[in-house]
Structure 1
Amino acid sequence: MIRNLFLGLLFCGWTLGASAEDGSRLWLRQDTTASATIDCLLHSQTLNIAQRELNRSWKGVPVTLQLCADKEHLALGKDGYTIRTDKNHIVIGSLSETGLLYAAYHLIRLQETDIDLGHLDIKEKPAYEYRILNHWDNLDGTIERGYAGHSLWKWEELPDVLSPRYEAYARANASIGINGTVLNNVNASPEILSDAYLLKVKALADVFRPYGLKVYLSVNFASPMVLGKLATADPLNTEVSEWWKKKVYEIYSQIPDFGGFLVKANSEGQPGPCDYHRTHAEGANMLAEALKPYGGIVMWRAFVYSPSDNDRAKQAYLEFQPLDGKFLDNVIVQVKNGPIDFQPREPYSPLFGAMKHTPLMAEFQVTQEYLGHSNHLAYLAPMWKEFFRYVDPDMLRAVAGVTNIGDDVNWCGHDFAQANWYTFGRLAWNPRLSSEEIADEWLKQTFTSNKDFLVPMREVMLESREAVVNYMMPLGLHHIFAWGHHYGPEPWCEIEGARPDWLPSYYHRADSEGLGFDRSGTGSNAVSQYPDSLANIWGTLDTCPEEFLLWFHHVPWTYKLKDGYTLWEELCYKYDTGLKEVRRFRDTWNQMRPYIDTERYEAVAKRLDIQVNDAVWWKDACLLYFQSFSKMKFPKDIEKATFRLKELKKVHLPITNFECPGADILPRKE
């Protein structure tokens, strides 16, 4: 059965013979009864936090915290640090107080992950100056693509009431090196810039500041019209630019370390400079000029698409690449990792590498909009590492993650979804860390270092994303989700009056001949936006990697793949394999009961039950639907369908209230 998508707050339980466990402590579950000697000659809010964390949790030799302005630490920058053992003593050095805080958390992490602490000689420097979470939180407390309750930000209570979770949030981010947070949805309400809301934003900024966490805001480009009652938002209009300069001055008068603006413009109905026949560069530069005197930045999203005869995968490139070199230096163009929209697998966006004279930042989606929401275990490090196989980390100036955090007790809805928040922070600091290293770190800190738990659950995490791809959209299939909420399959979806590029058939192109979107030179030619070295491989059917096959090619059902199976057979085996893999994950988890607390064990077990049943749903829906085009038999050794296609086509999940969807016609199989 397709089970309840929102299971609510988790119940309190106990670790084995220890304290209650509800997931709220995330990966910061270390013992707080340590009594090591921690020395620091200076005092400030940030340094006091660093000392407090070490005083509570560090169990080793004495530690000294030192602010250092020597050549070595200048080269490491304000967030970098050193940690060195000097006989029976550890010295932590950094150019800044925030760097010392990051180092304190790293030293505790080393202790909690069983690293040899006897001969430390560590030099750390973050890969990116800007390591930013994007909250898609609305002012009414809802979260667009939020699967863990309502917003953390209780706007109706601010600025007078400060939830203790605000500081806990800042602490969690500091522990993994995240240094910025955009508080509100990219589909922004102008009201966030009103005087009343800026006081609320200031209250949050004051809580976050000691943890090195800067506040940013998403802004609506039409704010001068809504708040300032101007007749236009034309970026070349003097009154408009002056309104923004005045508003920026007001912000910095209250929040002197304000980070800047994130802007979604001229996409999905949002206002922007193109409404006035201006370019994205002209719009971004107008805001950048207002922020420049204060050190603020503009993050201008390249997620744009509009009704067009062009392949949607081509549109961001067509709109932004001609603007390369025309943005001011405090504008960073924020580009989704793939050219469509956070699919379980996409090739990287061709804008990376095509805008050599423009600072770029990658936008990853931590919240699992297209990966089973908070019901499915999907460790995303392998996805993001796949992106970095094609995109040199040094090519980027910054990274952003669309967060999966809500007000659920365990923050992320699924205990294993916490791993993706953690992973984003660790890769934002060092994109060359491996998926295995990060999984080990997170498992040891969040659950236990017991190898009987660690080894099998690390394997589950590392294989989970590929399993999701297999049971949802293998071989390069993409965007065949149910309408609106993107939970569950609906490759047959047709909505009267909907734009073609909002519908699955636009992407899968299934017909009697075959399956897939032809983006080769004989199709939309989207492949030409990539470097020739890749375009020549991806654009040819026989050399295209099979994971991207149906992304770049319309492939005949009878086409033979490298393993000798036809496309139809391979498609069947992929869906069947995905289902078998997630069943194996559930079986593995069932063996983990002795190693962790009852509450978290049961919470994850419930979600794995949902995931298995969802995998059955995906397999049956997609294979039965595509069989209506291929007219080919299922291989004898794959699991027979549980449901009939006509039953599955009756399933319509509520977009805003997922209460036991499909329960009447999708009986529990497992």
Structure 2
Amino acid sequence: MKQLLLLLYCLFFFHAVVAEDGSKLWLRLPTEAQATVKCNKQSPTLDVAVKELRQSWQGVSVTLSLQQTKSLRALGSEGYTIHTSPDGQQLTIASSGESGLLYGAFHLLRLQATGENLTALHLSERPSFDIRILNHWDNLDRTIERGYAGRSLWLWDELPATLSPRYAAYARANASVGINATVLNNVNASPQILSLDYLEKVKALADTFRPYCLKVYLAINFSSPSILGGLPTSDPLDPLVRKWWNQKVNEIYKLIPDFGGFLVKANSEGLPGPQDFGRTHADGANMLADALKPHKGVVLWRAFVYNPDDEDRAKQAYQEFVPLDGQFRDNVIIQVKNGPVDFQPREPFSPLFGAMKQTPVMAEVQITQEYLGFSNHLCFLAPMWKECLDSDTYQQGEGSTVARITDGSLYGRRPTAIAGVANTGDDVNWCGHDFAQSNWYAFGRLAWSHQLSSEQIADEWVAQTWGMKNKALTEMMLASREAIVSYMMPLGLHHLFAWGHHYGPEPWCDVPGARPDWMPSYYHKADALGIGFNRSSTGSNATAQYHTPLCEAFDNVQTCPENLLLWFHHVPWDHRMKNNRTLWDELCYTYNKGTQQARNFQKVWDNLEKFVDSQRFREVQHRLKIQARDAVWWRDACLLYFQQFSKRMIPAELERPVHELNDMMNYKLPITNYECPPYGFTP
């Protein structure tokens, strides 16, 4: 009996040791390698690089070498080379900067983890963008706006005295994919973040992040001089206001010498800004830029602006910012959402990309899945971001892609940057859904090299996270974003989400007194004639904001890409698609296709049960079930609602709706504080 109990205890202990909870992310590396690693200098950053290699590298001896050769300086301080010696017995990672050696060390470990041939390495790397930054929408009370993985990582009440071990783990994960900057707080910023009490807390985080080459930025409230400083105004041209910002910036840099700068959301969704004082965005940004300039800090000024008027919301950022081109200081970057509205499952690229030729412009993408099923739905976002980055604006002829505009290679504007709205929280697995980790990873890899393919990034992440290479799993990830578009908002439909929390369908939403451009009907405009927003020259003329030949292609219903058809046109229900189906039938087929894809994800995952640890397998399986149910909910809600206008039958060969429209219209999903619901529609 004692032997049996001992055996059971050992089995339980062994299971506990090997159990996976997702906390290791993609860094599931060996830790007992005891590799031979040499470095010609010591520092906190180099010590991290040496430690990572010593505990995890399983190949020949490695030398980390700081060199100031012409070729290495050309790669920049973050670039590096990795070379195998002629006899194959030595690897050298060389860079002109310590950060380059850190990134090179992680690259070598990534090659090992993904099973690449390591016998004769000769490669060089440099990042596509200077600033590769996460935007945390974390509030000081530790709630996270549009965060679905628990509460904020930052334990403000315990800082600066107590440092959670997750802070260093967070910085390490970012360094492993080349992310070099982070905004700690929400763009809807509290002025308190600039108080001395909170700046000392920020300093503690910055000190923890520094060995991992992760700079701290802060989102600021434009009215901080009056709210925090007690001034009668926050007018950016007022000398006392400028003096207050200069003093505050000096105070920050005294505490944090490598502070990155400010992220600003101003005159947007009710937040204060320079327009409150009759000034322009350039006036506001330049005031902050002047204060930061002596310290080499930058201003990231968001272009997410729109007013409650009759103008097409998709046009307003372009209208406000293009006239200001050339008026911003050289340390201001305009941060532009990938599309002209708001992180929808599919949008055309923002026409601001390329239109501002004299001002650095950066892309802002959303890693957290505000409009993509929260952390309940599997949605690999690299294809979505590649779609934007690879889009040709034609601003300087063919090949003028968003990537080339934002990386500085087309107009030569620097600094360059790219931002991702973070999806992390204090959940054990960081991101809620184990597959949501892939989007944090993918953002870092694309920010480092936008030339990488979605398939390559997915393959890397699968190999490192699940310890295998699996074509079916990679294909499922690559198909997931398009599947979500299909069962949520195909053919250019957008903003059909439920009021407030944005989870689930609500194309009928009509909140008394709410702004029209917060209502789904503002966007879908379904009526007896057809559906879609007319942004052509006969409508809002948003197509004119795009360069030839795009403006002409988008403007014509016959040449507009069908996946954006209802974004740019109000189309008759009987319009013939390229496959000869009517628009109505095509909507029905596409919604059903997306639903079937979501169900198939379950089959793919279930076939992998024997290859995946039980805890993560069950957690993913549970969320895939929710996703499949939600897909049916979306399909039924949208088709039954729009059928009231089309007066057409759902094609007989397609699966019939299983819900009643009235039930769905009367249902209110109980979500508070942007939590992730455990289920969708339950009749």
State whether TM-score is above 0.5. Answer: yes
Change (3 A) 1:664 1:416: closer
Paired residues of 1:16 and 1:597 also in contact (CA < 8 A)? no
SS of equivalent to 2:658: coil
Task: Indicate which of 577, 590, 603 corresponds to 1:574.
Answer: 590
Which residue number in structure 1 is paired with residue 263 of structure 2?
262
Query: Matches of 1:528 and 1:584 in 2, distance apart?
Result: 41
Matches within 5 A, 1:63-462: 63-86=62-85, 87=87, 88-390=89-391, 391-396=401-406, 397-449=416-468, 451=469, 454-462=470-478
Change (3 A) 1:331 1:15: farther
Task: Indicate which of 548, 553, 556 corresponds to 1:540.
Answer: 556
Which residue number in structure 2 is paired with residue 614 of structure 1?
630
Query: Matches of 2:478 and 2:429 in 1, distance apart?
Result: 22
Change (3 A) 1:612 1:209: same
Question: 1:332-373 CA distances to partner (integer Å, 9 max, x unpaired)?
Answer: 000000000000000000000100100011000000000000
Paired residues of 2:193 and 2:199 also in contact (CA < 8 A)? yes
| Uncovered stretches (5+) of structure 1, i.e. residues with no partner | 1-12
Give, as a single letter, the amino acid of the residue that structure 2 aligns with 1:77: G
SS of equivalent to 1:505: helix
SS of equivalent to 1:21: coil
Kindly, what percent of the aligned residue pairs are identical? 62
CA deviation after TM superposition for structure 1 residue 425, in Å = 0.2
Which residue number in structure 2 is paired with residue 8 of structure 1?
none
Which residue number in structure 1 is paired with residue 499 of structure 2?
483
CA deviation after TM superposition for structure 1 residue 35, in Å = 2.0
Change (3 A) 1:429 1:593: same
Query: Matches of 1:666 and 1:456 in 2, distance apart?
Result: 31
CA deviation after TM superposition for structure 1 residue 308, in Å = 1.4
Which residue number in structure 1 is paired with residue 6 of structure 2?
none
SS of equivalent to 2:353: coil
Give, as a single letter, the amino acid of the residue that structure 1 aligns with 2:436: A
SS of equivalent to 1:265: coil
Which residue number in structure 1 is paired with residue 397 of structure 2?
none
SS of equivalent to 1:666: coil
Change (3 A) 1:358 1:24: same
Query: Matches of 2:680 and 2:405 in 1, distance apart?
Result: 51
Paired residues of 1:651 and 1:661 also in contact (CA < 8 A)? no
Paired residues of 2:63 and 2:93 also in contact (CA < 8 A)? yes
Change (3 A) 1:286 1:471: same
Question: 1:182-238 CA distances to partner (integer Å, 9 max, x unpaired)?
Answer: 000000000000010000000000000000000000000000001110000000000
Change (3 A) 1:656 1:592: same
Give, as a single letter, the amino acid of the residue that structure 2 aligns with 1:546: E
SS of equivalent to 2:354: coil
Number of aligned residue pairs: 652
Query: Matches of 2:368 and 2:16 in 1, distance apart?
Result: 33
Which residue number in structure 2 is paired with residue 6 of structure 1?
none
Query: Matches of 1:14 and 1:240 in 2, distance apart?
Result: 62
Query: Matches of 1:16 and 1:586 in 2, distance apart?
Result: 26
Paired residues of 2:375 and 2:676 also in contact (CA < 8 A)? no
Change (3 A) 1:84 1:664: closer
CA deviation after TM superposition for structure 1 residue 394, in Å = 2.3
Q: TM-score, normalised by structure 2?
A: 0.94
Question: 1:494-540 CA distances to partner (integer Å, 9 max, x unpaired)?
Answer: 00001110100000000000000000000000010000210111110
SS of equivalent to 2:64: strand
Query: Matches of 1:656 and 1:156 in 2, distance apart?
Result: 23
Query: Matches of 1:651 and 1:262 in 2, distance apart?
Result: 38
Query: Matches of 2:279 and 2:65 in 1, distance apart?
Result: 50
Paired residues of 1:67 and 1:97 also in contact (CA < 8 A)? yes
Query: Matches of 1:663 and 1:62 in 2, distance apart?
Result: 51
Question: 1:459-483 CA distances to partner (integer Å, 9 max, x unpaired)?
Answer: 1000000000000000000001000
Give, as a single letter, the amino acid of the residue that structure 2 aligns with 1:262: L
Paired residues of 2:148 and 2:675 also in contact (CA < 8 A)? no
Paired residues of 1:336 and 1:342 also in contact (CA < 8 A)? yes
Change (3 A) 1:243 1:658: closer
SS of equivalent to 1:341: coil
Query: Matches of 1:654 and 1:343 in 2, distance apart?
Result: 23
Query: Matches of 1:326 and 1:205 in 2, distance apart?
Result: 32
Query: Matches of 1:14 and 1:32 in 2, distance apart?
Result: 20
SS of equivalent to 1:609: helix
Query: Matches of 2:348 and 2:680 in 1, distance apart?
Result: 38
Which residue number in structure 1 is paired with residue 394 of structure 2?
none
SS of equivalent to 2:301: strand
CA deviation after TM superposition for structure 1 residue 309, in Å = 1.2
Query: Matches of 1:325 and 1:358 in 2, distance apart?
Result: 6
CA deviation after TM superposition for structure 1 residue 41, in Å = 2.3
Paired residues of 2:629 and 2:680 also in contact (CA < 8 A)? no
Query: Matches of 1:96 and 1:316 in 2, distance apart?
Result: 38
Query: Matches of 2:537 and 2:199 in 1, distance apart?
Result: 51
Query: Matches of 1:254 and 1:662 in 2, distance apart?
Result: 43
Q: TM-score, normalised by structure 1?
A: 0.96
Paired residues of 2:434 and 2:616 also in contact (CA < 8 A)? yes
Question: 1:132-158 CA distances to partner (integer Å, 9 max, x unpaired)?
Answer: 000000000000000000000000000
Give, as a single letter, the amino acid of the residue that structure 2 aligns with 1:402: V
| Uncovered stretches (5+) of structure 2, i.e. residues with no partner | 1-11, 392-400, 407-415
CA deviation after TM superposition for structure 1 residue 651, in Å = 1.1
Change (3 A) 1:252 1:491: same
Which residue number in structure 2 is paired with residue 9 of structure 1?
none
| 2:51 equivalent to 1:52 | yes
Paired residues of 2:39 and 2:64 also in contact (CA < 8 A)? yes
SS of equivalent to 2:576: coil
Paired residues of 1:561 and 1:567 also in contact (CA < 8 A)? yes
Query: Matches of 1:94 and 1:31 in 2, distance apart?
Result: 25
Change (3 A) 1:663 1:124: closer
Question: 1:558-593 CA distances to partner (integer Å, 9 max, x unpaired)?
Answer: 001000100000000000000000101111101110
Which residue number in structure 2 is paired with residue 34 of structure 1?
33
SS of equivalent to 2:390: helix
Change (3 A) 1:169 1:15: farther
Query: Matches of 1:662 and 1:641 in 2, distance apart?
Result: 22
Which residue number in structure 2 is paired with residue 10 of structure 1?
none
Task: Please give the root-mean-square deviation of Cα atoms over the aligned residues, in Å.
Answer: 1.5
SS of equivalent to 2:355: coil
Query: Matches of 1:254 and 1:18 in 2, distance apart?
Result: 41
CA deviation after TM superposition for structure 1 residue 655, in Å = 3.9
Paired residues of 2:630 and 2:681 also in contact (CA < 8 A)? no
Query: Matches of 1:175 and 1:447 in 2, distance apart?
Result: 17
Question: 1:36-57 CA distances to partner (integer Å, 9 max, x unpaired)?
Answer: 2101121111111100000010
Give, as a single letter, the amino acid of the residue that structure 1 aligns with 2:514: A
Query: Matches of 1:490 and 1:14 in 2, distance apart?
Result: 49
Give, as a single letter, the amino acid of the residue that structure 2 aligns with 1:76: L
| Structure having greater relative contact order (Cα 8 Å, sep ≥ 6) | 1
Give, as a single letter, the amino acid of the residue that structure 1 aligns with 2:111: L
Query: Matches of 2:578 and 2:678 in 1, distance apart?
Result: 38
Bigger mean CA offset, 525-534 vs 656-665? 656-665
Query: Matches of 2:510 and 2:628 in 1, distance apart?
Result: 27
SS of equivalent to 2:588: helix
CA deviation after TM superposition for structure 1 residue 638, in Å = 1.1
Question: 1:265-286 CA distances to partner (integer Å, 9 max, x unpaired)?
Answer: 0000000000001000000000
Change (3 A) 1:480 1:423: same
Query: Matches of 1:537 and 1:330 in 2, distance apart?
Result: 36
